[in-house]
A and B are shown apart, each in its own frame.
Chain A
Amino acid sequence: MTPPETIAIETRELTRTFRRFIAVDSVSLQVRKGEIFGLLGANGAGKTTTIRMLTGLLKPSRGEAWVAGIPVHSSPEKVKHRLGYMSQRFSLYEDLTVAENLTFFGGVYGLRRPDLRRRKEALLDLFDLKDMADRITSSLPTGHRQRLALASALVHEPPLLFLDEPTGGIDPVARRTFWRVISDLASAGVTVMVTTHYMDEAEYCHRLGIMRDGRIVAVGSPDELRNTHQVATMEEVFLNVAGTGEDAS
């Protein structure tokens, strides 16, 4: 059954196994439109596998996933023009320039020339990449690469954004800027699902799902989670439910 209009992402008993190993185990979630939903969990908890199923990259073994009202478990291709995706590993063309990457991905999403030019300008502006436009991507510093990756994921103005550890390896200042853009997008109505293993980043999320061994072990806003567990910090929440303290790494 199609979820209501206000729900951007809904999973029902979503499960993925690799041979006998259960990577994602009966995950049921709801993410509202315009919400920033964080998936928190140690390495190997199943965050990437969940996102790959939601973006149509991986077929669920069992269960359902509805994204933007489209049943991704049965028709994964239909949802693709609605979503932007930033993989946990940098995956743009290293031998193209910044501008060429944007043009290419915009083109592949079917944008026409005038739209393409407009979007390119806007994104270069937004991410402060104007003077880097003609640099070969492989020569960019990590922070800039991350911004370019996000810009590419946004080139077709998708209503949904999936970010898999978008801030891995960049400095705190760059991370703050990055999150400001994410918050602005959410205010503009874009639904964002993001994975992270930085606890301080959990605060930027409207709601969180904590994953452990493929299962969602806790869901709620940062405040709700702290209150339920009667603790002062997210680290402690995490320690309680996921069994490990510090970074998930």
Chain B
Amino acid sequence: MLKSLRIIGHLIRKEFIQAFRDHQMLGMMFIMPVIQVLLLGYAITVDVRDLSLGVMDYDRSPESRQLVEDFRHNETFDLDRVMSGPDEIRDALDRGEVAAVLVIPRGFARRLGRNESVDVQLLLDGVDSNASLIAFNHARGIVESYSLDVLRKTLVGTPLPDLRPRIHVLYNPELISRFYMIPGVVVVLLTMLTTLMTGLGLVRERETGTLEQLSVTPIRTVELLLGKILPFVLIAFFVLAIALTVCLVWFGVPMRGSWTLLVLFSLLFLLNTLGMGLLVSTVAHTQQQAVFMVWFLLIFGILMSGFFFPIENMPLLMQRLTYLNPLRYFMAVVRELFLKGSGMMSFRVETMGLMILGPVAMALAALRFRKRAR
């Protein structure tokens, strides 16, 4: 037992000496997280605002100008262009110069004055379906409240019922998508780093022949595997600390939950990513293969984690598959810890998922890894 610890100690020491001797690697480990959180933190936002809007006003009446003003004052739209004919509308949309065009027909004011119904048209560039859906909802809101105003003016003196929603947004009242995305970025970063580093570890030793040299020593498989992953647990926590600092200090993301829980879940999650990395390194024959496998796993892991797209929106089969994805659980835990400050009891499914998948990955890796003769 004591001897095992001593041997593992030597393995860890060796791993650290190697890591710190490789200056490029060191830079990758400590500077990359900062840059990544910063860049991705700014780049990845699903807020839709300042969509460029073109206006084609055939009516040119005070009423039509009022509707245009209403659009101008909405944050979603940015009135970029006043247009002069159908050709220009088509062109601007084709070239992507505007994302939406509001078309107000001739006779808009006249027909409103006669209490007739009028159509206004909104042309949307549907390439980014998410953005156009949001634009669509905002535009409908603007037009509906305009039409309500018209109704009020027509019926002055008549008492009208008034139903107004009082919406109270909890946890992220300003609906800043960054608060939701940045903790996710930290999760992705941690996953990439740890899976890749362990994934490459054993493969590199196999390529350089040092694994064979280790294999003639009496070292046991468990000792070797522990010696390979423990250094990365330490490094991972260091990187996590850096990334979280950027996240809290620079972006001002609130942390409402318990730090202890975050550390515990991180440990549990590392068991998963390190296990996955080890598994890769027992399957891959070359470092290139390892990188490719990790990359493949990561793409799936990230897309199916709910990082970009809510899991509830996926087809049922996909939703079921996400239960095999450790990222899914940790993503949920981190986001809820940060924004809601949820307690242990709300993470029962996540705890189970991580506690099952991690050891399974580790066990598979240990089984596949045969230090023993073949």
Contact flag A109-B217 (CB < 8 Å), given A96-B17, A96-B18, A100-B14: yes
Q: Return the contact of A93 from the options B3, B6, B18 (Cβ within 8 A).
A: B18
> How many B residues, CB 8 Å from partner?
26
Q: For the complex, is A179 an interface residue (Cβ under 8 Å from B)?
A: no
Measured CB to CB, the closest approach of chain A to B26, in angstroms, equals 13
Let me know if B239 is at the binding interface, CB within 8 A.
no
* Contact (Cβ within 8 A) A91 B14: no
Q: Say whether B9 faces chain A, with CB atoms less than 8 Å apart.
A: yes
Q: Is there contact, CB below 8 Å, between A91 and B208?
A: yes
Proximity bits, A72-92, B CB within 8 Å = 1, else 0: 000011001101010101111
**List of A residues within 8 angstroms of B373 by Cβ:** 53, 56-59, 76
- A44–B250 CA distance with the chains assembled, in angstroms: 63
Contacting pair B208 A108 (CB below 8 A):
no
Per-position contact with A for B345-374: 1 when CB-CB < 8 Å, else 0? Answer: 000000000000000000000000000111
Cα(A152)–Cα(B13), bound, Å = 17
Residues of A within 8 A of B18 (CB): 93, 95-96
A80 partner residues in chain B, CB cutoff 8 A: 216-218
Query: Is B372 a contact of A108 with CB atoms below 8 Å?
Result: no
| A146 within 8 A of partner (CB) | no
Q: Tell me whether A108 and B10 are in contact in the complex, defined as CB-CB below 8 angstroms, given that A58-B374, A81-B218, A85-B216 are known contacts.
A: yes
A94 at the interface (CB under 8 A from B): yes
Nearest Cβ distance between residue B206 and chain A, in whole angstroms?
A: 11
Scoring B17, B208, B215, B217 by chain A CB atoms within 10 A of each residue's CB, the highest score goes to B217
Q: Contacting A91 at CB < 8 Å: which of B7, B209, B372?
A: B209
**A110:B6 contact, CB within 8 angstroms:** yes
Number of interface residues of A (CB under 8 A): 32
Q: How far is the CB of A214 from chain B (nearest CB, A)?
A: 18
Contact with A along B19-44 (1 / 0, CB 8 A): 00110000000000000000000000
Within 8 Å of chain A (Cβ to Cβ): is B50?
no
* Residues of A close to B219: CB separation below 8 A: 108
When C-beta atoms are compared, the residue in chain A nearest to B217 turns out to be A108
Contacting pair A107 B213 (CB below 8 A): no
Q: CB-CB < 8 A to A81: which residues of B?
A: 217-218
Q: Decide if A110 touches B372 in the complex (CB within 8 Å).
A: no
**A94 surroundings in chain B (CB, below 8 A):** 208
Q: Which of B11, B216, B217, B218 has the most CB of A within 10 A?
A: B216
Choose from A58, A76, A90 the contact partner of B209 (Cβ within 8 Å): A90
Task: Establish whether residues A105 and B372, one from each chain, have CB atoms under 8 Å apart when the complex forms.
Answer: no
Contact status B10-A93, CB under 8 Å: no
Is A104 close to B, CB under 8 A?
yes
Given A80-B216, A90-B209, A95–B7 Cβ distance below 8 Å?
no
Contact of B210 among A77, A91, A110 (CB under 8 A): A91
Instruction: Write out the residue numbers on chain A whose beta carbons fall within 8 Å of the beta carbon of B209.
Output: 87, 89-91
Contact of A103 with B by CB under 8 A: yes
Given A76-B373, A95-B18, A96-B18, CB of A110 within 8 Å of CB of B3:
yes
- Chain B nearest CB, measured from A222 CB (Å): 29
Whether A11 is near chain B, meaning CB under 8 Å from some CB there, is no
A55 at the B interface (CB under 8 A): yes
Q: List 30 A-B contacts (CB under 8 A).
A: A57-B215, A58-B374, A59-B374, A77-B372, A80-B216, A81-B218, A83-B216, A85-B213, A85-B216, A87-B209, A91-B213, A92-B213, A93-B14, A93-B208, A95-B17, A96-B18, A103-B10, A105-B213, A107-B7, A107-B13, A108-B7, A108-B11, A108-B214, A108-B217, A108-B219, A110-B6, A110-B218, A112-B6, A136-B21, A152-B213
Q: Which B residues are within 8 Å of any A CB, using their own CB?
A: 3, 6-7, 9-11, 13-14, 17-18, 21-22, 208-210, 212-219, 372-374
